[in-house]
């Protein structure tokens, strides 16, 4: 700042710019070599930990599954226990659900933790659980943010995830360089739990739109319309959305969509059902009407009960098509 005030000529301004640029690069490099603890090395976490190593970070990893640990160790990580992980500069968790995330933090906080550490939970969980975790981490003198992700397994693999961060501005600025090693878009959503609030509201809308596209496609096809013709009409009309354009649930419309691969891979019915359950819980607690979200939740629960839990969530189209043939 002071340098800027005395800079009168263009040349001096350019020199100041260069110094500032070098300073920022130094800061970025400093963030490149952190000791990072990573807990939960499943479909998402395994890739995320691997991408952090590619950025030069030292990874100390833990998972209850030995094969999951071994897979990441083979890429250069050190397998560690919770006591070792509690001493890292950053600790990232990528775990299945509320209880497992909360219990893991309870265990971590019993350890001798690094008080300068920043704990980052990227799992999808209830924003209220986030607030409880933040309190127990703060009580130990460390910092915590929620940073759930969107982008699925391909996004985790290609380091193109979107992170939705809940925490203070300072905490957001401190976690951003690390999250950039795993994602493309890092957005500060507000205070603790707001990352999860954004994630749950988005996924509720995604489920509703997928069911809507499936219903409309099925109706149009049964009325005699050609599937491609109708998809083209939606995608240049008011019905257009990500589910119709990028991820159409009818086979043959979008080459890369799971519909063309027997609804395998992609984003599972189990996971969207979990997210809709979380959205229903927070909607009830905040007295917010979500009639469509609640119905979407029940529809996906039905799909799960029909054995479709491990299929991509666009399988809802196939389910409706078969139902209409009954």
Distance, C-alpha 113 to centroid of its chain: 26
Q: Between residue 142 and residue 201, which ones bind ligand NAD under the rule CB under 6 A?
A: 149, 152-153
| 164 versus 208: smaller Cβ distance to ligand NAD | 164
Distance, C-alpha 248 to centroid of its chain: 22
| 99 versus 226: smaller Cβ distance to ligand NAD | 99
C-alpha triplet 288, 293, 295: angle, nearest 5°: 120
| 28 versus 64: smaller Cβ distance to ligand NAD | 64
Which H or E run contains 165? strand 161-166
Closest CB 206 distance from ligand NAD, rounded Å: 11
Closest CB 312 distance from ligand NAD, rounded Å: 10
Residue with smallest beta-carbon separation from ligand NAD: 42
| 206 versus 208: smaller Cβ distance to ligand NAD | 206
Of 34, 38, 40, 80, the one binding ligand NAD by CB under 6 A:
40
| 163 versus 319: smaller Cβ distance to ligand NAD | 163
Q: Rule CB under 6 A: is residue 45 a binding residue for ligand NAD?
A: yes
Residue for token pair 């119905």: 295
Closest residue by Cα to residue 251 from 205, 320, 323, 315 = 315
Of 31, 36, 39, 175, the one binding ligand NAD by CB under 6 A:
39
Closest CB 154 distance from ligand NAD, rounded Å: 9
- Is residue 164 within 8 A of residue 150, CB to CB? The reply is yes
The 10 Å CB-count burial string (b at 16+, else e) for 102-130 is bebbeebbeeebbeebbbbbbbbbbbbbb
- Is residue 267 within 8 A of residue 312, CB to CB? The reply is yes
Of 7, 16, 32, 42, the one binding ligand NAD by CB under 6 A:
42
Q: Between residue 103 and residue 142, which ones bind ligand NAD under the rule CB under 6 A?
A: 104, 123-124
CB atoms within 10 A of CB 154: 13
Closest CB 158 distance from ligand NAD, rounded Å: 13
| 35 versus 273: smaller Cβ distance to ligand NAD | 273
Those residues with Cβ within 8 angstroms of residue 164's Cβ, 6 or more apart along the chain or in another chain: 147, 148, 149, 150, 187, 189, 194, 195, 196, 198, 199
Active site residues: 199
Span interacting with ligand NAD, options 70-78, 90-98, 129-137, 169-177, rule CB under 6 A: 90-98
Question: What does the alpha-carbon distance between residue 45 and residue 116 come to, in Å, rounded to a whole number?
Answer: 23
Residues that bind ligand NAD (CB under 6 A): 39-45, 62-65, 68, 94-96, 100, 104, 123-124, 149, 152-153, 267, 271, 274
């Amino acid at each position: 700042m002071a340098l800027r005030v005395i800079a009168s000529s263009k040349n001096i301004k350019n020199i100041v710019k260069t110094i500032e640029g070098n300073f920022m690069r130094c800061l970025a490099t400093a963030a490149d070599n952190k000791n990072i603890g990573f807990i939960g090395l499943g479909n998402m976490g395994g890739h995320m930990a691997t991408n952090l190593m590619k950025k030069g970070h030292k990874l100390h990893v833990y998972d209850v599954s030995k094969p999951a640990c071994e897979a990441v160790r083979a890429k250069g990580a050190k397998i560690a226990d919770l006591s070792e992980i509690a001493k890292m500069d950053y600790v990232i968790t990528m775990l299945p659900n509320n209880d497992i995330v909360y219990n893991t933090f309870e265990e971590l906080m019993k350890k001798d933790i690094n008080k300068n550490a920043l704990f980052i939970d990227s799992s999808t969980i209830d924003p209220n659980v986030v607030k409880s975790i933040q309190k127990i981490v703060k009580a130990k003198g460390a910092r915590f943010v929620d940073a759930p992700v969107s982008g699925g397994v391909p996004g985790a693999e290609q380091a193109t995830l979107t992170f939705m961060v809940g925490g203070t501005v300072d905490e957001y600025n401190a976690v951003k360089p690390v999250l950039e090693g795993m994602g493309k878009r890092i957005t500060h959503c507000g205070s603790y739990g707001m990352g999860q609030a954004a994630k749950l509201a988005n996924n509720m809308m995604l489920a509703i739109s997928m069911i809507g596209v499936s219903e409309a496609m099925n109706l149009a096809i049964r009325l005699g319309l050609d599937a491609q013709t109708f998809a083209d009409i939606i995608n240049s009309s008011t019905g257009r959305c990500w589910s119709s354009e990028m991820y159409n649930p009818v086979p043959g419309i979008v080459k890369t969509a799971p519909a063309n691969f027997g609804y395998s891979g992609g984003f599972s019915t189990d996971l969207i059902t979990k997210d809709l359950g979380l959205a229903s819980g927070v909607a009830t607690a905040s007295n917010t009407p979500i009639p469509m979200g609640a119905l979407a939740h029940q529809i996906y629960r039905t799909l799960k009960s029909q054995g479709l839990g491990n299929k991509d969530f666009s399988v809802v189209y196939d389910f409706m098509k078969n139902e209409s043939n009954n």
